[in-house]
Amino acid sequence: MTRKQRRLYFVVLGMLALGAATALVLTAMKDTLVYFYTPSDLKTRHVAEGRRLRIGGLVEQGSVVRQGDEVHFVVTDLQATLPVVYRGVLPDLFREGQGVVTEGKLDGQGTFRASEVLAKHDENYMPKEVADAIKKSGQWQEEGKKP
Amino acid sequence: MIPELGQFALIVALFVTVVQSVVPLVGAIRGDRTWMDMARPAALAQFALIATAFGALMSCYVTSDFSVLNVVQNSHTDKPLIYKISGVWANHEGSMLLWVLILSIYGMAVSVFGGNLPPGLRARALSVQAMIAFGFLLFILFTSNPFARVDPAPLNGDGLNPLLQDPGLAFHPPFLYLGYVGFSMAFSFAIAALMEGRVDAAWARWVRPWTLVAWCALTLGIAMGSWWAYYTLGWGGWWYWDPVENASFMPWLSGTALLHSSIVVEKRDTLKAWTILLAIVTFSLSLLGTFLVRSGVLTSVHSFAADPTRGVFVLALLVVVTGGSLILFAIRGPTLKGGGLFTPLSREGSLLFNNVLMSTAAGTVLLGTLYPLFADALEMGKVSVGAPFFNAVFIPLMVPMVVTMAVAPLLSWKRGDFAGALGRLKFAFAATVAVAAGTWIAPGGGSGPLWAGRGLGLAAWLAAGTLVEWAERVRLFRAPFSETADRILRLPRSAYGMTVAHIGVAVVIAGITGSSAWTQEKIQVMHPGDVVSLHGYDLRLEGTEDNLQGPNYSILRAHFSVTSGGRPVADLYPEKRMYRQPPRPTTDAAIRTNLLGDLYAVIGDPDGTGGFVTRLYFNPLVPWIFIGAIIMVVGGLVSLTDRRYRVGAPLRTARAMAAQKGRA
C-alpha cells in the first residue's frame, strides 16, 4: 500500500464517519429536540399536544397541592400561568416562589403533565431560561445581591 | 496575613511563568543550553509558589478565617473537617487554584523525571506549560481572586452547598482536574514537537504514560461523579447527558483515542500528525469543559452560580490556545511524515478506524451539547438536547467500535490476517450468541426490550474476544503448560493493562444495558405498614423517625424492611436531610446491592395524612458500571507499571551513546 492509497483510505474513512454522524444527528434531531416555552408563549403559540417540551417559570405562591403521589402546582412567568401535574418525588430544591424547569407534555385540557422536574444544585441560581422568561414578561426585579 | 501570603505567592508565580515561557523557548531557538535549562528550576519554583498559595487558602478554610470572602461564602464552623478541606475546591475560585496547582505539579514532574528528555523538547514543552499557567494565573488574579477579604468579618460563614458535602463529590473535582490538566502534558509536548518539527517513538514513549495517568484520573473522576449523582440525586439514574457531564466526557473520548493512536506512533512511527491533532483537540476539549462548567452559558442540572465575565475570559483563553495551536498545526503538520505503511486490515488500520469513530462520537456529543447555544443565538427558539438525542447518535457509533475492539488486538501490525483473526474468535462468537440468546430466553429476560440481548451480547463479544487474545498470547492449551505459564509471567504489563481495561469496558457495557433495559420503578404514597412488591422483593415501610441529628443537619429517616418470599433480606434506611447552614434539604438514597442489582429507596415529602411519597427502584447491573470503570482504571495503572516506561528512555539514550562511542 502506498502513501497515496493510505491517505485515500484515511480520507474515505473520515468521510464515511462524518456522513454517518451527520445522518444520525439529523434523524435524531428531528425527533428528540425539546423546545422550551414560557407560559405566555403557550398562550400565543399553538403547540401540538403530545409533543415533549420544557416549561419554565416560577412556582406560584400557594399553588402547590399534594394529592396522593401527585403534585399539582402552577408555573408562572408573572404574566401567564400554566397548571402542572407531576407524579413522583420532587427535587429537594423545589419550593414555592422559586424558579423551576419541567419537562413533559400538554394534555387536552391545557394541563402540563410533567415527567421531570429539574433540580438545581444551587438555590442562588435561577435557571437562565426562567430569568429570560421573566425579563421578557417585563416583571423582572433585580434581586438583592449578596455582599 | 496568611491570605496575603497566598496572594503574593500567586503574583510571584505569575512572573515566574512569564520567565518560564520566554527564556527556555528563546534558548531552544538559539540552541543555548543554559537558557533552556532555566525551565527546570522555574517549573519547580512555580510549583512551590502555587502550592504555597493553595496551602494558604486551605489553612484559611481549616481555621475558618471568615475575613476571607471565599471562606465566608463556602464554609461554616459546623462543617466536618473533611468538608472544610474539600470546600477549598468546591467553589469557583478555589477550584481554579486547584487547576493551576495540578498544572504546576505536572510541570514539576517534567522537570524532575524528564532528565533523559532531549533538552530542546523539554525546554519547549515546559515553556508551553508555563504559557497555559500564565493564562490561568491571570484569570485567577483578575477575575476570581480566592483571597479577597471582607471587612468587617462576619461571625460565621454561609456554609457549603449540602449536595457537595459528600465523600463522593469531595474527591470528584481533584480527580477530574488531574485528568483534564493531565492532557496538558500531551498538549505541551505536541506543541513542542510541532515547533521542532519532529515526532518520534521517544516522543510517544514520553507522552503515552502521562496521557495514561490523565486518562485513569479522568475515568475515575467521571465514575465518581456518576456514582454521586446515582445515590444522591434520588432519581435512580447515573448519567443524564447533562452539559456538564458531557463536558467531562468529550475529553475522555478524544483522550482515549489519543491514548491508542500514540501506541501507533511509538510502535510503528506513523499516524503522527493525527496524534498531534488529537493531543490539541483533547486539551482544547478539557478547556472547553472548564469553560462550560464555569461560565454557566448552558443550563444544566449541575450549574453553580456563575459569572459571565469569567466565562468570557475562559472563552478568550480557549480561542487563543485552540486557535493558536491549530494554526501552528496547519503550518507545521504537513512536515510530520509518517514512516510505516499499513493496510486497512491491520492493527494500525483498526486502531485508526476506532480512533475515527471515537472522535466522531466526541464531535456529535459536542454538537449536541452546544446546539442549544447556537439555536438560541440564531433565534431558532430555546431548545434542549437530552438523552434521547445522545442515545440515538452515540450508540450506533459505539457498536461498530466495540465490535472492532475485540478484533483489533488479534490483527498483526502492518498487514493483518483478518480471516485468521475471525477464525480465532470462533469462541467469542459462540459466547456472544449464547449470551444474546440466553438473555432472550431467560425468565424475565425476554420481557426486556429486544436490544437488551444485543447489548449483553456485545459485552460478551468484547470480553470473550479480549480473553481469546490473551489466550493466544500465552498459547493457552496450544503449548505445553510450562511454556504457557512462562508466557503468562513474561507477558508485558502493558499487554495485561489492555486486557484488563478492555474487560472493564465490557463490564460497563453490560451494566449500561442491564440498567437501561430492566430498571423497575414504583412511586407511591406509603403509610407505615404498607408493603410494595418490586422484582420479587416485598418492601415494607416500618416507620419514620424525625429530628435525628447529623453533624450539621437534622434527619428524617425511614425504615424499610425487605423480605423475599417471607425471608428477611435487608433493611433500608433512606434519609432526607435538612442542613442548618445553608438551610437546604438533600436526599440520601438507601441502596442495597447484591452486585447483580441494586434495591434503591428514596423517601420523599409527607402527604399531610401521615404518609410519605416514596420512590423505589430495582436497578439491575448498575453496580457493574462503576465496577467496570474501576477495572478500566486498574488496567490503566497496570499498564503504567510496564517496565519500558521506567527503563525504556534511558536505555535508548545509553544505547545511542554506546553506538556513537562505537563509531568514534
Please determine, for residue B405, whether its predicted confidence score (pLDDT) is greater than 90: yes
- pLDDT at position B436: 87
Question: Is it true that domain B1-165 has CATH number 1.20.120?
Answer: yes
- pLDDT at position B563: 93
Please determine, for residue B639, whether its predicted confidence score (pLDDT) is greater than 80: yes
Give the span between the Cα atoms of B325 and B306, in whole angstroms.
28
Interface test with A, best of B299, B300, B304, B602 (most A CBs within 10 A): B299
Please determine, for residue A144, whether its predicted confidence score (pLDDT) is greater than 50: no
- pLDDT at position B571: 94
- Helix (H) / strand (E) element for B546: namely strand B537-549
> Closest approach of chain B CAs to the CA of A112, in angstroms?
18
Split at pLDDT 50, 70, 90, the class of A119 is low
Give the A:B interface size as CB pairs under 8 Å.
Answer: 143
**Among chain A residues, CA nearest to B161:** A122
Task: Give residue-wise pLDDT tens across range B537-576.
Answer: 999 999 999 888 988 899 999 999 999 988 999 999 999 9
> Closest approach of chain B CAs to the CA of A113, in angstroms?
16
Task: Give residue-wise pLDDT tens across range B23-61.
Answer: 999 999 999 999 999 999 999 999 999 999 999 999 999
Please determine, for residue B587, whether its predicted confidence score (pLDDT) is greater than 90: no
- Please answer yes or no on whether B384 and A36 come within 8 Å at the CB atom: yes
Q: Provide the mean pLDDT of chain B.
A: 88
User: What is the DSSP-derived secondary structure letter of residue B242?
Assistant: -
| B548: helix, strand or coil | strand
- Please answer yes or no on whether A68 and B341 come within 8 Å at the CB atom: no
- pLDDT at position B183: 96
3-state SS of chain A? CCHHHHHHHHHHHHHHHHHHHHHHHHHHHHHHCEEEECHHHHHHCCCCCCCCEEEEEEECCCCCEEECCEEEEEEECCCCEEEEEEECCCCCCCCCCCEEEEEEEECCCCCEEEEEEECCCCCCCCCHHHHHHHHHCCCCCCCCCCC
State the greatest distance between any 2 C-alpha atoms of chain A, in Å, as a whole number.
75
Amino acid at site A16 = L
- pLDDT at position B294: 72
- pLDDT at position B34: 92
B205 and B645 in contact (C-beta within 8 Å)? Answer: yes
- pLDDT at position B646: 60
- Please answer yes or no on whether B344 and A9 come within 8 Å at the CB atom: yes
State the first-to-last Cα distance of chain A, in angstroms, to the nearest integer.
68
Task: Delimit the domains of chain B by residue range.
Answer: 1-165, 170-409, 410-518, 520-623
Give the span between the Cα atoms of B495 and B469, in whole angstroms.
10
- pLDDT at position B599: 93
Q: Of B289, B291, B283, B43, nearest to B183 (Cα)?
A: B283
Q: Which residues of B touch A28 (CB under 8 A)?
A: 388-389, 392-393
Q: How far is CA B79 from CA A118, B60, B541, B661, in A?
A: 28, 14, 32, 65
Mean pLDDT value of segment B179-206: 91
Split at pLDDT 50, 70, 90, the class of B651 is very low
A 10 A CB-CB count for B88 gives 26
B22 and B130 in contact (C-beta within 8 Å)? Answer: no
Task: Give residue-wise pLDDT tens across range B250-271.
Answer: 999 999 999 999 999 988 888 8
Long-range own/partner contacts, residues B409-413 (CB < 8 A, 24 or more apart): B409/B347, B409/B465, B409/B466, B409/B469, B409/B498, B409/B502, B410/B465, B410/B468, B410/B469, B410/B472, B411/B345, B411/B346, B411/B347, B411/B349, B411/B350, B412/B346, B412/B347, B413/B267, B413/B268, B413/B340, B413/B342, B413/B346, B413/B347, B413/B348
| B534: helix, strand or coil | strand
Q: Which residues of B touch A18 (CB under 8 A)?
A: 360
Please determine, for residue B303, whether its predicted confidence score (pLDDT) is greater than 80: no
- pLDDT at position A126: 61
Q: Of B83, B255, B305, B242, nearest to B173 (Cα)?
A: B83
- pLDDT at position B299: 56
Question: Distance of alpha carbon B98 from its chain centroid, rounded?
Answer: 16
Q: How far is CA B386 from CA A3, B302, B305, B612, in A?
A: 42, 14, 22, 30
